[in-house]
Every structure is written in structure tokens, then in C-alpha cells.
Amino acid sequence: MQELDFSISVLGEPTIQISAISEKRDVWRTSYVDDDQYILYDIAVTIGKSEAGFARNNLIEKAGPREKIYFDPAKVHAGVVTCGGLCPGLNDVIRAIVMTLWYRYGVKQISGFRYGYRGFLSRFNIPVMELTPDVVTKIHRLGGTILGASRGYGDCVEEIVDSLERMNINTLFIIGGDGTQKGALGISEEAKKRGLKISVIGIPKTIDNDLSFVQKSFGFQTAVSRAVEAVDCAHVEAHDAINGIGIVKVMGRESGFIAAHTAMAINDVNYVLIPEVRFDLDGENGLLANLERRLEQRNHAVILIAEGAGQEYMEDSRASDVSGNIQLNDIGIYLKERISEYFKKKGIEINLKYIDPSYMIRSAPANPNDSTYCARLGAHAVHAAMAGKTGMIISLIHSQFVHIPIRLTISGRKRIDPHKELWRDVTEATGQPLLLQERRKKPRSPDKKRRGLSPDKQRRGLSPDKKRPCPSGRRGGQEGDEVNKS
């Protein structure tokens, strides 16, 4: 097992008994969490081979309220910031942080920094927003973020910590994705270098669901539910036309989780294209030929594509945004043009509709599942900060809320493994070939031919004892592979 360090940094020993400062009696006898309570990271067991067990590098600190806290609530000045792109649930997290600080811990000084990390920098002169229960009480019904958001400037850690020090901020909640959390780690380290007791807590936000050591990021479920609506529209358009083709592009720069889960949720998708699985356009087993066979047999097709898929087919722009993300070419438009060109040359009439719901999804309010998740993320973030934790995020592992060091979260992207269960389930739901790539295998030598199969059965992919195609017969994308149940 890979050596992992799940240890969480603390500012000091928590000494303040929460029951001594609470204005309300704990009539429900709240179940506090101790620092010696953990969740197993690797829960898979192979008899005779599993050795991880209770090794320290397999234990993740459990999240939740501590009986003793580090900060005196009367002396806390909390800061909240939302960075990066929009995502369903941002306002829900802000609301949960404010409500938990105010009502559970009695923290009355809460400042919202506007437009991401720019809000800390004097050069932009952006006023701070005071956050109270009255300000946030209804914001969870709105899309976007009341604080505004922007990309970049997470590397200006010295200026940011200057602002925190000047305003006497001692707990900072940073809501954002991979690039944002890199900035959060830098802020935490700079504060430590200066001897400042500032708790920096990250709440992971990535609509692509691609942060490492995060089972599920908030906004993802809403994104899938909205993408399902777009696919449903594309399917109706395609189904009710002559040789109808619907293309839907969803978010997913490096990871295709939205596309994969959407395809399984609606079961009307025939081809799912994601960044993790390369595909061919041309050739007998390429997407275009498969699509032609699909139309011959079913008269319609739906293609769902993640924005980062197929980038190798387009010229690399080499440009990047202020967060350092490479600016992607529009694979949806490219695919639409290639498909139209292909069938035009063949003299085949098609009716093609292209839908890109990306910004409609990003700006949507969170659905009930995400709202619930956001409320719990925000509350757990406050519990961690008041206990003096720092340099960490609140995460979900095995459906348990836990503390994860930021350094682990930003160590790599979470991606779909084409050889594991999720992608297998996707291809079974769509009926598409396991890979759309051209087969490039060398011909088998006579002595390596499969035993018990006649040459005819080998060509048709039949097993010796059955008269139907065996699973391995689908790998080449032969005729019939692309036919979906829908």
C-alpha cells in the first residue's frame, strides 16, 4: 500500500470546554468526536493478502464537533471566500458556515471576501461583506455565490496573509477546487512561518468531481441531474427525426465523471466520450463508422461528451487561464462538424442537434441532495476550525465526514480508470464498444489461436460451448456493438 500521511496540523492544544461557554444546555447530549477516532482509508480485504489494517497510514481523522476547542469564540474573526468558477451549492456552504459559527459557537464577527482571492488584495480595492444570519438566511435558494467568484491570484500568499493579519482574521474558510486549495495550503504555510495562529480550512469545490481523496464534491449531483435533462431533450430531438443525432457536451476537463454518471442515470446515451479513454473517429471501428451502423439499425443516436475528450484531434492553443488551466478547444463543435462532413460525403441525410448546457448547470441552485451535503460540509468545517485544525479540507470518505490534509488533496487528479467498475458499468449501460479505438493488435500466430474454436467462430467471437457472441467479441466494435437498448 502506498505510504500516505493523513496527519492533520493543529495550532495548539484545545483547552476551552465548549459546554462552559455555550448559552444553551446540551439537552440532546451531542455526540462529540475525539481526535483518536478514525476512518479506515483502505477497506478492501483480500484473505491472506491484506496488511493495511490499522496502520497509521490507513487511518483518517474523523470530522465533527470537539468537546474542547482552541479558539475563544468572543475573540474569533472568521473569513469566508469562494474562488474559481461557479458551482451549485456555493451559497449553501456559505450559509452553513455562518449559521454554525453564529448559533453554535457564538462567533459574531464574520467577513466575506468578495471575488475570490482578489478580495484580499489592496490593488483591487474590493470592500469586504459582513455576514450575519439575516444576510444568509435565504441565499441557499439562489444559484451562484453572494460573495462573487474569480480565478487566479492564489499565489499572492504574502499579500493575502498581510490582509488577514491586518484584519485580525484567525479562521479562514476557503471554498474552491484544486488551484484554490493550492493557494489555501500556501496561506496556511505562510501564516505558520510568521507565527500567526490562523486556522485555514478548505471546502472542496469542483463540479467535475475530480479532487483526490474526496468521494464526492458538492454540486456534482446537481450537475448530473441537470445534464440528464439536457440529454433527455437531445434524445427526443434525435428519436423523432430521420437519422437524428443528438450531441450533448458536459463539463469534465480531465475527468469524465459527469458524463459517466449522466449516461447511467438516463440510459438513453449510445456513446460516452471522456478524457480518460481515447477514441478513433475514422476507420472501420471508429466513432463515425459505428455511428453510421447505429443509424442504419436504429435511426437515431445520442452522443455524450466531456469537454476534455478528444483534444488530440484539434490544434493545441497553448493558452491558459489565470488559474493556469489549459484552455480547451470545443470538442462539441468539432465533433458536430466532423459528423456533418462525414455523412455529407456519404450522401446520407442526418438531423443533428448540439446542446451545451454547461453554464446553465454551473449557475443552478443546488438540488436537495447537494443542499444537505453542503450544509454538513459547512458545519464540519467550522467544527474543525474552532478546534484549531489547519491546512486541511473537509472530505467524504466511505460516506463518512473526515479531515484530509490539503497537501494530499492537491497531489493529483481523481480520474476514471477504464479498467475498473465505473467505466464497465457505463459501457454496459450504453451498449457502446468497450473502446472505440481501432484494433492495432498483430495477427495471432497459428499456435496461439483459441482452443476449440473453428476459424468461423473465431471471426464471430463465439465461445466453444455457446452460440452467442462472448464478451470478448465486442472489443473490436463489430456491427451490432453500437446498438443500444434504447
Render pLDDT for 330-366 as a digit per residue (tens, 0 to 9): 999 999 999 999 999 999 999 999 999 998 999 999 9
> Across residues 274-290, what is the average pLDDT?
92
Render pLDDT for 62-78 as a digit per residue (tens, 0 to 9): 999 999 999 999 999 99
CA-closest candidate to residue 378, choices 178, 185, 174: 174
Render pLDDT for 393-403 as a digit per residue (tens, 0 to 9): 999 999 999 99
* Complete domains list, the chain, with CATH: 9-218+366-397 (3.40.50.450), 220-363+418-439+456-474 (3.40.50.460)
**Range from 221-235, 262-276, 464-478 carrying the lowest mean pLDDT:** 464-478
> Across residues 369-385, what is the average pLDDT?
97
**Range from 14-28, 195-209, 255-269 carrying the lowest mean pLDDT:** 14-28
Tell me what pLDDT residue 56 has.
77
Among the options 34, 72, 178, 208, which is catalytic? 208
User: Given pLDDT bands bounded at 50, 70 and 90, which one contains residue 324?
Assistant: low
Tell me what pLDDT residue 452 has.
43
Q: Which long-range contacts (CB under 8 A, 24 or more apart) does 192-196 make?
A: 192/9, 192/390, 194/161, 194/165, 196/161, 196/164, 196/165
Is the pLDDT at 198 greater than 80? The verdict is: yes
Tell me the C-alpha to C-alpha distance, in Å, between residue 361 and each of 13, 210, 398: 43, 17, 27
Told to judge if 36 belongs to the known catalytic residues of this protein, a careful annotator would answer no
Tell me what pLDDT residue 157 has.
96
Tell me what pLDDT residue 318 has.
64
Cβ contacts of 88 within 8 Å, gap of 6 or more: 143, 207, 218, 219, 222, 223, 361, 362, 364, 365, 366, 367, 370
Strand intervals (E) in 284-421: 300-306, 351-355, 389-390, 392-397, 400-405
Tell me what pLDDT residue 368 has.
96
Q: Which long-range contacts (CB under 8 A, 24 or more apart) does 392-396 make?
A: 392/8, 392/9, 392/201, 392/202, 393/181, 393/201, 393/202, 393/203, 393/204, 393/214, 394/63, 394/201, 394/202, 394/203, 394/204, 395/204, 395/213, 395/214, 395/215, 396/214, 396/215, 396/216
Q: Provide the whole-model pTM.
A: 0.85
